[in-house]
Structure 1
């Protein structure tokens, strides 16, 4: 751990909190020399955990510098600078670490950019299906959409975030287009 402190004036934060993305949550200490296990929230752990990479607390006021990282049996373990014993590692249990947003290709999106978009049927001017309220990564990315017109007890729908079903995303327009097969979204018939 280096740089920053909880007493840092918000005007002097090293990064803009709004541009930070959750990368991992620290779990239990591993061994006696300050290594910690982490739960991943990134698709790019190799890049995020390169030696010298800087991660931040949620508000950006505290920096954590990766000294080394390793993967073992689908788990990641980090050694952070300044965390040199088991006691220091245990004190970080539950801490979430954030990284700066990277420039993405035109066909890539961060979940935070998708949440809040209006979902429309088949075209950007089509009928409103609802609003994206969450994005989850199970076996694949899923959009959770709060339906504009709930059907019975069904107030939300899950839609796989794949090009065949979500052919258009317009961040500037605040809209994404969904072309669902019949039965995927309650109340939305394929023939509409």
Structure 2
């Protein structure tokens, strides 16, 4: 299984270093010197990490064979992809890789079906499950302990305890928007 672990940013200095936007919770494992990563676009790689360091809060990498700023700049916006064993689990007890969560059924604690996780959105403050409902609409569910009470990989489900309005207001909001649209269109304003 392949996992995007970083995106290459700007060149840094004149000796071939680049900034990277880290997209993994385990950069010390996935972006360590000696790691060989495939790339998107494929024509840029594979790339072997020669050195890595943190400078002003940003991770800087240098790849084997990239010796100058021009070579580094040519890699800008390239995605770095690590090969992951599908059976491999994160180190933390309550941590999961995205591929483990995609396609899980989402149900409430009383067993009511909400939908299926189609994507994980990684935001600075928290992660969100993007859940496709049976009617084809989507609902966003924050992946926080207070709302997602259980992940059961054996049963292929995520159990949630949504606060009032997180799930229910989705349909009510659509009806309210339709009603407001009819009223505002009728008074000529």
TM-score, length-normalised on structure 2? 0.75
Specify the alignment match of 1:137 in structure 2. Answer: 122
- Whether 2:96 is the aligned partner of 1:109: answer yes
Question: In 2 relative to 1, CA 59–120 (structure 1 residues): closer, same or farther, beyond 3 Å?
Answer: farther
Q: Shift of residue 49 of structure 1?
A: 2.5
Specify the alignment match of 1:47 in structure 2. Answer: 29
CA contact (8 A) 2:89 2:96 kept: no
Q: 1:148 aligns with which of 134, 139, 144?
A: 134
String of CA shifts for 1:55-107, please: whole Å, max 9, x gaps. 22259894321111122233221101111112211221121111232532553
CA contact (8 A) 1:49 1:68 kept: no
Q: Which runs of 5+ in 1 are unaligned?
A: 1-18
Q: Which runs of 5+ in 2 are unaligned?
A: 171-189
CA contact (8 A) 2:11 2:18 kept: yes
Query: 2:28 is paired with a residue of what secondary structure?
Result: helix
Q: Give 1:110-125 correspondences, 5 Å limit.
A: 110-123=97-110
Q: Give 1:64-83 correspondences, 5 Å limit.
A: 64-83=47-66
Query: 2:133 is paired with a residue of what secondary structure?
Result: strand
CA contact (8 A) 2:20 2:60 kept: yes
| Structure whose alpha-carbon radius of gyration is higher | 2
CA contact (8 A) 2:41 2:79 kept: no
Query: In angstroms, what is the RMSD of aligned CA positions?
Result: 2.4
**Which protein is richer in helix relative to its size?**
2
Specify the alignment match of 1:29 in structure 2. Answer: 11
- Whether 2:83 is the aligned partner of 1:100: answer yes
String of CA shifts for 1:36-55, please: whole Å, max 9, x gaps. 11111112223322222222
Deviates further, 174-183 or 50-59 = 50-59
Q: Distance in 2 between matches of 1:75 and 1:45?
A: 12
TM-score, length-normalised on structure 1? 0.74
Query: How many residue pairs align between the two structures?
Result: 164
Q: Distance in 2 between matches of 1:59 and 1:79?
A: 18
